[in-house]
A and B are shown apart, each in its own frame.
Chain A
Amino acid sequence: MPEKPLVIDSLTFKYKTRPELALEDVSLELKQGELLLIAGSSGCGKTTLARCINGLIPRSYRGERSGKVLLHGREVADMPIPEMAQVVGTLLQDPERQIVASNVFNEIAFGPENLGLPRGEIISRVDQALSRLKLEYLRERETFNLSGGEKQKVALAGVLTMNPSILLLDEPLASLDPASAHEALEVFRSLADEGKTVILVEHRVEDAIEAKPDRLLYMEEGRIKYLGPITDLPKEIDHTQVKLPAPWVVRRVKAQGATVKEPPKPPVQERGDPLVVFEDVSFRYDSDLPFILENVNLKIFPGDLIAVLGPNGAGKSTLVKHAIGLLKPTSGRVLVEGQDTRKLSVAQIARTLGYVFQSPTHMLYAPTVQEELEFGPKNLAYDPMLIPKFVNESLSTVNLNGFAEYPPLGLSFGQQKRTTIAAVLAMRSKILIMDEPTAGQDFANYTHFMNTMCDVSEDAQSVLSANFAATLFITHDLDLAVTYANRALLFGDRRIIADGKPQDVLKDEELLLKYRVRPTSLLRLNLSLLPQTGRFLPAESLAAYAP
């Protein structure tokens, strides 16, 4: 094969359905064994570039393409699919979207089976991939029972058995807990060291640099803004668009001489009576199945903004489903405003507690956003005269003014997510519970969303505290807990491991690592500056304190 695995020359692309250029004059070359990180916010063109490399453009996505994309000297558009699939292996953002077979062995063998390889060759390739990724113990397991990290590795093994020379990894960390993400990044690095050319598309630059990329490609509006080494923060990169290590952001803010206003301290609230109480709650689905929750005790008070952290499968979602009454304890009890959830219907509890599920597509159904938002208040038999007011206020709160007549399913993912939150806001519940509120959104979008929801100004409360007595959100993103929460819950081994102020719960690095929560640079910087700051702050605000 020729020297250069990938050569892109003056590539420009415009989707048939859109007026603007998705890519403009992109050129780059990659060597064998190079690891390239591609970063940028939503709509910057990184996904389009990935589609041009793996041949989905021009095969599946129509439009006008000019320039060249050469894989080992051959134009990608001219290569038949089976050949393409053996040169570029694509790992999709969500491993759930990639896995087609019902057990691990079949899943990994799927590609070579499709190529019609002999049986012995397929088995040998599968065993090599299992051994390479240390997955032998999963060989006969069912795919849908794997953890998120295991699914990701199995999907990767399925790609590796096609023996591609280029690996294209499209936001592979999105659905992983921090410890699994760290393990995945180590694997990506070692694959590059073994001679694969690795293209890692990721907006969380802070995490991705653990894979020690050789170069960073930063894109904005379809163009390359920066292509070069990644030893420090290049000035071309906008730190509000991609997630960078906190010390880099601090240096950038200091170098710019910009003063970033410290967010005002939230008002200290008197702790009233608890709104939700878990008393010795244990739960299992069936008497012959293991417990998912064991002796959980928890009180949610007015003014709480709680981040729930912990590994995948620890029982975090099971915990919050008890609060809304979707699950009832096997033993112990859950009280919502003093009433046992066993005696209340979910609809009755919904008046007190609004629950936003992780995936908007499991919930949105109405022909217009307006009707979607009216659904909850109508179910709860609110005064029909008041419902339009609730709906309008909710739309305005999540910045969806003007979208009332849009079909929710036609909105972008971020807008759909905000619609689901507005739908709960319109129910006027006292407590808001969100399961992974930032999942599926890029850094710039979710930062904007969380700031909109949580920011306090000098003369007004945050959207959350103005609308809800308490908020609880489940997240894998430790920095959300650091930046926005006033209380952190570490959940693991079926119970609450730690509960308290973020600065108290998150200071024990060993404990965090034990429960697969990896400390971030923002947490470390905050902890080191805590004597001066007295509280956790966003990276920009830390510039005023950092030496």
Chain B
Amino acid sequence: MLVTWKYRPRNTFIQRLDPRTRLLFFFCVIFGLTLPDIWDYRVILPLFAMSLTLYLLARIEWKDVKRVWLFIFVLVFMIVGLNALLSGRGGPASVTNTASPVVFEVLGIDVTIAKIWFALTQVVRMITMTLLAIPIPYTMDPNIYGTAFRKLGSSDKVSFTMDLAFRFLPTFARDFTITMDSQRARGYELEKVKGGIASRLRKLAPLIIPVVMQSTVTGEEVIDAMDLRAFGTNPRTWIKADDLRYKFADYIMLGLALILLVGGFVLRFGLGIGEFFIPDFFTNLFL
């Protein structure tokens, strides 16, 4: 059985928005940033401020999301940030192509001013997107996931698949906890898993295999249960479809989303703003 995220109803601006508005807004910002390849901090910082404001407006309790943020911080700072700092890859070519002054050296790798600025930009850019993504599962009614996608024009099957996919992650987390507990009761200690990557992966098998097996079984059960109740045989009625209506605030937010999406392209390709560049004040810090 699939479980849901820790959703609770709150009378906030964010939760009063139509779920479709929130999904569309999220996708517009992501695409507005990534498709035109925006790396200019003057564009990213205002977007960051906007995302932070919307995040705070969602009024999510810190204790509900602290684990998720911990995971995100580890991912963004340790993996993405460090990779950007050392390799300079994963972004515009100008980071590695430009002859930027070397600030220091780590393990024989030159860390240039360009790489440092790129790492900072990358971290802020990713957190801007994360700030918009995290509130969605915590503040969107899980009963409306599928309906929202259906009303956005997806087919019945795609919409219900999205509904199930949203609930897959917390279910995976629950199964992982049970498996972790049962292996710990057999003396397994994750902190003692050492060695090279292959060896570590092998030693993680007692966790990975039962969780994957459980997920497969859950998937098959869901399919059987849906078949027995005639899913996919007729065009479906979505009972909550009429509950979704755009209101004034939705039109404002959708307008803003459109501006951000189109704006990203206009800035980059029309006005030539948005490319990666290192501001003088930052370069001067090291010279």
Same complex origin of A and B: yes
- Name A's B-contacting residues (CB within 8 A): 54, 60, 80-82, 85-86, 90, 92, 96-103, 105-106, 109-119, 122-123, 142-144, 158-159, 162, 286, 321, 324, 326, 345-347, 350-351, 354-355, 357, 359, 361-366, 375-376, 379-380, 409, 423-424, 427
Q: Is the CB of A85 within 8 A of B229?
A: yes
> CB < 8 Å: which of B167, B178, B237 contacts A113?
B237
Complex contact A362–B229 (CB within 8 A): no
| Contact call B234/A347, Cβ cutoff below 8 A | no
Does any Cβ of A come within 8 Å of B259's Cβ? no
Interface string of B207-233 (1 = CB under 8 A from A): 111100110010001101111111111
Q: Which residues of B contact A60 (CB under 8 A)?
A: 224, 227
Which of B35-43, B94-102, B181-189, B273-281 sits within the interface? B181-189
Interface CB pairs A-B, < 8 A, 13: A80-B233, A97-B224, A100-B164, A100-B226, A103-B143, A114-B233, A116-B234, A142-B4, A286-B63, A347-B188, A361-B214, A375-B206, A376-B187
Main secondary structure on A side of the interface with B: helix
- In the bound complex, CA of A185 to CA of B209 (Å): 38
With A114-B231, A365-B206 known to touch, is A97 a contact of B221 (CB < 8 Å)?
A: yes
Bound Cα distance A92, B220 (Å) = 14
Contact B186 A113 (CB under 8 A): no
Q: Is B175's CB within 8 Å of the partner chain A?
A: yes
B262 within 8 A of A: no
Assembly CA distance A286 to B64 (angstroms): 11
Pairwise interchain contact A114-B182, C-beta atoms closer than 8 A:
no
CB-based contact B1/A97 at 8 Å: yes
Indicate if the CB atoms of A110 and B186 lie closer than 8 Å: no
Q: Which residues of B contact A97 (CB under 8 A)?
A: 1, 221, 224-225
Name the residue on B nearest A86 (C-beta).
Answer: B230
Residues in chain B near residue A80, CB distance under 8 A: 233
Q: B242 in the interface, Cβ–Cβ < 8 Å?
A: yes
Count A-B contacts at CB 8 Å: 156
Q: Is the CB of A362 within 8 A of B182?
A: yes
Q: Does B3 contact A (CB under 8 A)?
A: yes
Q: Which residue from chain A places its CB closest to the CB of B221 in the assembled complex?
A: A97
Closest residue of chain B to A424, judged by CB? B186
B residues neighboring A (CB under 8 Å): 1-4, 63, 142-143, 164, 167, 175, 178-179, 181-189, 205-210, 213-214, 217, 221-222, 224-240, 242
Cβ A427 vs Cβ B187 within 8 A: yes
Task: Report which of A81, A85, A102, A427 forms a contact with B4, defined as CB distance below 8 A.
Answer: A102
Closest 6 CB pairs of A and B: A379-B187, A96-B1, A365-B209, A111-B229, A116-B234, A376-B186
Which B residues lie within 8 Å of A123 (CB)? Answer: 239
With A97-B1, A362-B182 known as contacts, the answer to whether A114 contacts B225 (CB < 8 A) is no
The answer to whether A114 and B230 have CB atoms under 8 Å apart is: yes
Instruction: Please give the distance in Å from A397's CB to the nearest CB on chain B.
Output: 17
Q: Which residues of B contact A326 (CB under 8 A)?
A: 181, 184-185
Measured between alpha carbons, how far is A122 from B237 in the docked complex, in Å? 9
Known A114-B234, A350-B184, A366-B206; 19 more pairs at CB < 8 Å: A80-B233, A90-B228, A100-B222, A100-B226, A102-B4, A102-B142, A102-B167, A106-B240, A110-B231, A112-B237, A113-B238, A116-B235, A357-B185, A361-B213, A362-B179, A362-B182, A363-B186, A365-B207, A409-B213
| A361 and B143 contacting across the interface, CB-CB below 8 Å | no
- A375: chain B residues within 8 A (beta carbon): 186, 188, 206
Q: How far is the CA of A427 from the CA of B213 in the complex (A)?
A: 24
- Distance of A101 Cα from B226 Cα, bound (Å): 10
Q: How far is the CA of A346 from the CA of B188 in the complex (A)?
A: 9
* Docked pose: A517 CA to B270 CA in angstroms: 74
The interface residues of chain A lying within 8 Å CB-to-CB of B210 are 361-365
Q: Which of B2, B178, B182 has the most CB of A within 10 A?
A: B182
| B233–A362 touching, CB < 8 Å | no
How far does the Cβ of B194 sit from chain A's closest Cβ, in whole Å? 14
- By the criterion CB–CB under 8 Å, are B239 and A114 in contact? no
A357 near B142 (CB under 8 angstroms)?
no
How long is the Cα–Cα vector from A54 to B143 in the complex, in angstroms? 29
* Minimum C-beta distance from A348 to chain B (A): 9
Q: A144-B3, A357-B185, A365-B210 are in contact. Are A85 and B230 (CB under 8 A)?
A: yes
Instruction: Take A82-B230, A326-B184 as given contacts and tell me if A144 and B239 are in contact as well, using a CB distance cutoff of 8 Å.
Output: no
Judging by beta carbons under 8 Å apart, are B225 and A98 in contact? yes
Cβ-defined contact, B167 with A158, below 8 A: no
Q: For A159, what are the chain B residues with a Cβ–Cβ distance below 8 Å?
A: 229
- Chain B: which residue is nearest A97 at the CB level? B221
A363 vs B206: C-alpha distance in the bound complex, in angstroms?
8
Give the distance in Å from the alpha carbon of A366 to the alpha carbon of B183 in the complex: 12
| B143 close to A106 (CB less than 8 A) | yes
* Given A102-B142, A365-B210, CB of A115 within 8 Å of CB of B230: yes
Query: Which A residues touch B206, using CB under 8 A?
Result: 365-366, 375
The answer on a CB contact under 8 Å between A162 and B186 is no
Query: Roughly how many angstroms separate A112 CA and B178 CA in the complex, as a whole number?
Result: 35
Are A114 and B63 within 8 A (Cβ)? no
Docked complex Cα distance between A52 and B214 (Å):
27
Q: A109 touching B4 by the CB < 8 A rule?
A: no
- Knowing A355-B185, A361-B217 are in contact, say whether A119-B242 is a contact too (CB < 8 A): yes
Within the complex, the shortest CB–CB distance from A285 to chain B, in Å, comes to 11
Chain A positions within 8 Å of B4 at CB level: 102, 142, 144
Q: Complex formed: what's the CA distance from A354 to B183 in Å?
A: 11
**Given A114-B229, A116-B237, A144-B3, does the pair A362, B214 have CB atoms closer than 8 Å?**
yes
Chain A contacts for B242, CB-based, 8 A: 119
Min distance, Cβ A17 to any Cβ of chain B, angstroms: 17
Specify the chain A residue showing the minimal Cβ separation from B184.
A346
From residue B229, how far is it (CB to closest CB) to chain A in Å? 4
Cβ 8 A contact of A357, one of B181, B209, B222: B181
- Do A100 and B185 contact each other (CB < 8 Å), given the known contacts A117-B237, A364-B210? no
CB-CB under 8 A from B187, the residues of chain A are 346-347, 350-351, 376, 379-380, 427
